Amino acid sequence: MVLQTTDKKVATVKVVRMLFNVLSQTRTKQQLHTPWNDWRVHEPEVPQQSNMHDCGFYTLKFMEHWTGGRMNTRELEDHMGGDAIDVRKRLLVRLLLSPHNQLRDVVLKKLVK
């Protein structure tokens, strides 16, 4: 799924429409009865990317800092600031060296060589 727009309202409508289509297909296959009309869209005030290719990066950073409750947007903005390449490199290192990375040992062996 690629969403190419800088208009937040248009993006929200497109994402909700795509989500609705996926959920409708799942509901039909699973024979679920869910009242979709009761759903509400909430748009949190969070930092937005200024280009068309950083959405995944912003999503990862958002997930990293979200605790399930209110989002500390100032903290997130602080982590998103600075040199974008440096921030990406730090994120890459954290993902590669994470104990949850099943290929972590392989990566470490290749780095040591």
DSSP at 39: -
Structure tokens at 42: 């909430």
Residue 102: is its pLDDT beyond 90?
yes
Residue 13 or residue 109, greater confidence: 109
DSSP at 66: -
Average pLDDT, the chain: 75
Are 14 and 3 spatial neighbours (Cβ–Cβ below 8 Å)? yes
With b for 16 or more beta-carbon neighbours within 10 A and e for fewer, the 12-47 pattern comes to eeeeeeeeeeeeeeeeeeeeeeeeeeeeeeeeeeeb
- pTM, entire model: 0.45
The string of DSSP letters for 61-74 reads HHHHH--SSS--HH
Nearest CA to 24 among 13, 15, 33, 12? Answer: 33
Residue 1: is its pLDDT beyond 60?
no
| Least confident range of 28-32, 66-70, 79-83 | 79-83
Q: For residue 80, how many other CB atoms are within 10 A of its CB?
A: 20
* pLDDT tens per residue, range 6-44: 666 667 777 778 888 888 787 777 676 667 677 777 776
Instruction: Provide the pLDDT for residue 67.
Output: 74
Q: How far apart are CA 96 and CA 91, in angstroms?
A: 9
